Amino acid sequence: MKPAATISQSDIAPPAHESALAAISGRARDYASLTKPRIVFMVLITVVVGYVLGARGGPHPATLLSTLVGTGLVAASASCLNQWMERARDARMRRTANRALPRKRVSPREASILGAVLGCAGMALLLAGANVPAAAVAGTTLAMYVLVYTPLKPRTTLNTAIGAIPGALPPVIGWAASTGTIGMEAFALFLIVFLWQFPHFLAIAWLYREDYARGGMRMLPNVDPDGSITARQATLYALSLVPASLLPTMIGLAGHVYFTGALLLSLAYLAAAVRFWAGVSDAGARRLLRMSFLYLPLVLLLLVLNPPA
Ligand code: HEM
Ligand SMILES: CC(C)=CCC/C(C)=C/CC/C(C)=C/COP(=O)(O)OP(=O)(O)O
């Protein structure tokens, strides 16, 4: 029988090419995580909706593709630069301490270069493959997110109201890419996503209030310990989202099935906010956050599926 002592490391270690592949895929995962892929995906859904509604009757696949890839790259750049700027604060918060920068799996220099390259590539693609209005809105979105919202996070609780502007501009990018203009319809899409964000991030701000305080971020729950103002604000914004959700039908952008669906969904979102307000709790905030993840994709789907009669 072969004595145990003769079993060498090479008997159990993976072959060299396999560990090299694992190291490369680990690196790729670290870089990809800097782009917050799930948020970029959701942002791109709002872009598609803006584009398709603007292009009813004749979407141009090549322009749509350039718009999506271009905006995706710009949004990825925004997240990357945001994490580069917040690396020290992210290290102090549990939710973000495991990110690639605080864990030192990617260097600040690499992240800033990646952010700049993604941003330039995305802007160039939008200019070449979409149009100037779409590129201008995307550039404004990037600048507002990175140069205004991100530096304001540790300074004022108004940061989120300002961050909601770049958050709501992506459907306008889509609309501008397909129509070359920014009109009333683009404003209706902007308004829905803008108002939708308040209950979304106020629920998050409540759930992570201790974490935000550790990181020195000024969020409403940090100056509102019993959550009454936070929950009231979430409810008021959910309430204003009810008429805003109906606007697309009123301005001839969507039909009556959309109207009914949007009414029911916005009332359900409002009910979750009211329930959170009636008895502020983590469970209530979690329900409201889950409802936010349900409301937006469904309303956007109805918008695309139900054109005006
Ligand atoms: C001021 C505006 C916003 C703020 C402060 C905000 C904040 C956040 C935070 C902190 C999370 C992480 C929650 C967690 O880890 O449990 C999150 C998740 C998410 N947000 Fe927002 N958000 C905003 C706007 C938006 C917009 C405009 C979209 C897309 C249209 C969006 C889509 C998402 C998605 C899809 C997730 C889940 C991502 C994941 O699980 O990785 N958010 N948001
Ligand atoms: C085209 C383009 C530039 C699109 C960008 C749109 C975008 C990134 C929307 C997200 C909005 C937002 C304020 C997210 C929260 O970031 P956060 O910094 O509060 O999140 P964190 O605390 O998890 O870092």
Ligand 2 contact via 71 beta carbon (within 6 Å)? yes
Nearest CA to ligand 2 atom 1: 75
User: Among the CATH numbers 3.30.450, 1.10.10, 1.20.120, 1.10.238, which is that of 184-309?
Assistant: 1.20.120
pLDDT-derived band at 2 (thresholds 50, 70, 90) equals very low
Ligand 2 contact via 145 beta carbon (within 6 Å)? yes
Q: Which residues line ligand 1 (CB under 6 A)?
A: 38-39, 42-43, 46, 95, 160, 163-164, 167, 197, 200-201, 204
In the chain, ranges of CATH 1.10.357.140 domains: 26-182
Instruction: Point out the ligand 2 atom lying closest to the alpha carbon of residue 153.
Output: 19
Q: What's the pLDDT tens digit per position in 212-271?
A: 999 999 999 999 999 999 999 999 999 999 999 999 999 999 999 999 999 999 999 999
Closest ligand to residue 115's CA: 2
Q: What's the pLDDT tens digit per position in 95-146?
A: 999 999 999 999 999 999 999 999 999 999 999 999 999 999 999 999 999 9
Q: How much of the chain exceeds pLDDT 90, in percent?
A: 89
Interval between CA 138 and ligand 1 midpoint (Å): 19
pLDDT-derived band at 19 (thresholds 50, 70, 90) equals confident
Interval between CA 257 and ligand 2 midpoint (Å): 31
Q: How far, in Å, are 13, 92, 111, 124 from residue 50 at the CA level?
A: 51, 37, 30, 20
Q: What's the pLDDT tens digit per position in 70-109?
A: 999 999 999 999 999 999 999 999 999 999 999 999 999 9
The confidence score (pLDDT) of residue 26 equals: 82
Closest ligand to residue 140's CA: 2
Ligand 2 contact via 138 beta carbon (within 6 Å)? yes
Q: Please state the pTM of the whole predicted model.
A: 0.93
The confidence score (pLDDT) of residue 230 equals: 98
Interval between CA 40 and ligand 1 midpoint (Å): 10
Q: What's the pLDDT tens digit per position in 265-293?
A: 999 999 999 999 999 999 999 999 999 99
Ligand 2 contact via 82 beta carbon (within 6 Å)? yes
For 225, list phi and psi in degrees, rounded to 5.
Answer: -60, -30
The confidence score (pLDDT) of residue 5 equals: 47
The confidence score (pLDDT) of residue 4 equals: 47
Interval between CA 49 and ligand 2 midpoint (Å): 19
In the chain, ranges of CATH 1.20.120 domains: 184-309
- The CATH number assigned to the domain with range 26-182 reads 1.10.357.140
Ligand 2 contact via 46 beta carbon (within 6 Å)? no
Residue 10 has pLDDT above 60, yes or no: no
pLDDT-derived band at 7 (thresholds 50, 70, 90) equals low
Query: Can you give the chain as a three-state secondary structure string?
Result: CCCHHHCCHHHHCCCHHHHHHHHHHHHHHHHHHCCCHHHHHHHHHHHHHHHHHHCCCCCCHHHHHHHHHHHHHHHHHHHHHHHHHCHHHHHHCCCCCCCCCCCCCCCHHHHHHHHHHHHHHHHHHHHHHCCHHHHHHHHHHHHHHHHHHHHHCCCCCCHHHHHHHHHHCHHHHHHHHHHCCCCHHHHHHHHHHHHHHHHHHHHHHHHCHHHHHHHCCCCHHHHCCCCHHHHHHHHHHHHHHHHHHHHHHHCCCCCHHHHHHHHHHHHHHHHHHHHHHHCCCHHHHHHHHHHHHHHHHHHHHHHHHCCCC
Ligand 2 contact via 174 beta carbon (within 6 Å)? no
Q: What's the pLDDT tens digit per position in 177-213?
A: 999 999 999 999 999 999 999 999 999 999 999 999 9
